[in-house]
Amino acid sequence: MSVSFFNIKKRLDLLVITQEPFPYGMAATNRIISYLKIISDTLKSKVLIFRPTEKKEKIINKIPKGYLDNISYEYTCNLTYWPFKSVLLKIIFFFYGLFMLTLSIIKTKPKAIIVYSNIYYVTILLLALRTFLNYRLIIEETEYPKCILNKKGYLSKIINIKLYKKADGMIVMTKTLEKYYRTIGVKYIFVLPMTVDANRFNNLEVSINRGNYFVYLGSGGAERDGLIEIIKAFQLFRLNKSGYKLLLAGNLDKNSNIIRSAINFIKLNKLEEDILFTGYIKYEEIPKLLGSSIANIMLPQKIFITGGFPTKLGEYLMSGRPVIITNVGELSAFLNESNAFIVPPGDLLYVSNVMNYIIEHKKEADEIGMRGREFALKYFNPLYYKKDLIKFIMK
């Protein structure tokens, strides 16, 4: 197939193809932004979002095409929101987005594509296009395959495994995931740990503008993050200390079982004035919220069954405030008592005592918080991996 009818002055170096909201989203969106910001000065890059990501009644991303700093992005169907309620029309519109995605790939002729999506027939499409457009196809996974996590059928599992093996490489977040994907036959894997755009946190006066609140920041992973344990630990802390708040920040779904349970516990124990839901926090406002807290907290009670890593931990650390976190999974490979307050899972009294210690030993706690930031600036900063990541993508 010839694509000579397109007038291309220069072949694009990299396309990132995803179904995630852009430029404002949660962990996946922020991860894409964090590494593209540092490689886009070397690789001419663009993000293509192949389907709408917003509901018409609540649109956060309104512009279907534009720039975030040096990152170009475009919704291939030219709308950020679903214009139809009909399931049939949504399906048609979805495939229209894929058709326009195909045209965009043919037009830009990228040297490499990173696909960040759990829809396997999108990867099949990209593999098919690769046969005559001759680009490197890299699959990014920050978890185990969805077909395994969701316990889907045998056929789905076989298809996904074949796709991983046929791609030119994979980018994963943890050593646990690297080990898993190697066992199913993937040869070329780059481990890019959880990364954070450090520039977002550059101008925080963390020791001066300190609030009277602890912060949990989350969205769909509240149960995994130990939200109920956080609330119960704060209740114990409150028995000996008054005048402090716990902010539950982010787009937490109040119709979910975990949030309903949290609300019931708060009401039952008359904690409504001390534990507050903030609602959605804008991307650009997160650093200020975390940077002015007493401490930022998450208490996962067991290893992440997804094989991933708590992305919000990087933002917590980058804020320079003390971080309270349980010792599960690969956390101990990164953090220790010099740069975080690491607590045992299930010991809520221990957690409440740590909260009390942070209040009563401000100087020591602040120093631990700043050492956590120094650690994050090195190991969770995409600049640390820039050279090797570019080499892997363009190999």
Cβ contact 318:311 at 8 Å: no
94 and 76, same structural domain?
A: yes
217 and 358, same structural domain?
A: yes
pLDDT at 160: 85
- Strands annotated E in the chain: 14-18, 45-49, 65-68, 71-75, 112-116, 136-141, 169-172, 189-191, 213-217, 245-249, 275-279, 295-298, 323-326, 341-343
pLDDT at 374: 94
343 and 202, same structural domain?
A: yes
223 and 136, same structural domain?
A: no
pLDDT at 151: 61
The verdict on residue 148 lying in a domain is yes
Q: Does residue 291 have a pLDDT over 70? A: yes
251 and 191, same structural domain?
A: no
209 and 168, same structural domain?
A: no
Q: Does residue 147 have a pLDDT over 70? A: no
The verdict on residue 29 lying in a domain is yes
222 and 154, same structural domain?
A: no
Its sign, for the CA torsion 133, 136, 140, 146, is positive
pLDDT at 5: 38
The verdict on residue 9 lying in a domain is no
Range of the domain at 284: 198-379
The least confident of 147-161, 177-191, 309-323, 375-389 is 147-161
Q: Does residue 252 have a pLDDT over 90? A: no
The verdict on residue 359 lying in a domain is yes
Cβ contact 248:216 at 8 Å: yes
pLDDT at 303: 64
Cβ contact 280:252 at 8 Å: no
- pLDDT, tens digit (0-9, with 9 covering 90-100), for 334-351: 789 999 999 999 999 999
- Give residue 266's pLDDT band: very low, low, confident or very high (50, 70, 90): very high
CATH number at residue 316: 3.40.50.2000
The verdict on residue 66 lying in a domain is yes
Higher-confidence residue of 299 and 57: namely 299
- Give residue 211's pLDDT band: very low, low, confident or very high (50, 70, 90): confident
pLDDT at 283: 82
The verdict on residue 297 lying in a domain is yes
SS3 content of the chain, % helix, strand, coil (to 5): 40, 15, 40
pLDDT at 180: 92
- pLDDT, tens digit (0-9, with 9 covering 90-100), for 58-101: 898 999 999 998 899 999 999 999 998 889 999 999 999 999 99
Q: In the predicted model, what is the mean pLDDT of the chain?
A: 89
282 and 170, same structural domain?
A: no
User: HSE on the CB side for 127, CA within 13 Å?
Assistant: 16
Domain count, the chain: 2
339 and 319, same structural domain?
A: yes
Tokens 């028995």 belong to residue: 239
Q: How many other CB atoms are there within 10 angstroms of residue 74's CB atom?
A: 19
Q: How many other CB atoms are there within 10 angstroms of residue 183's CB atom?
A: 8
299 and 185, same structural domain?
A: no
Which residues, other chains included, contact 64 with Cβ-Cβ below 8 Å and sequence gap of 6+?
Answer: 74, 75, 77, 78, 79, 80
228 and 110, same structural domain?
A: no
Helices (DSSP H) in 61-119: which residue ranges?
Answer: 87-108
275 and 141, same structural domain?
A: no
The verdict on residue 6 lying in a domain is no
Burial 51-61 (b: 16+ CB within 10 A, else e): bbbbeeeeebb
The verdict on residue 5 lying in a domain is no
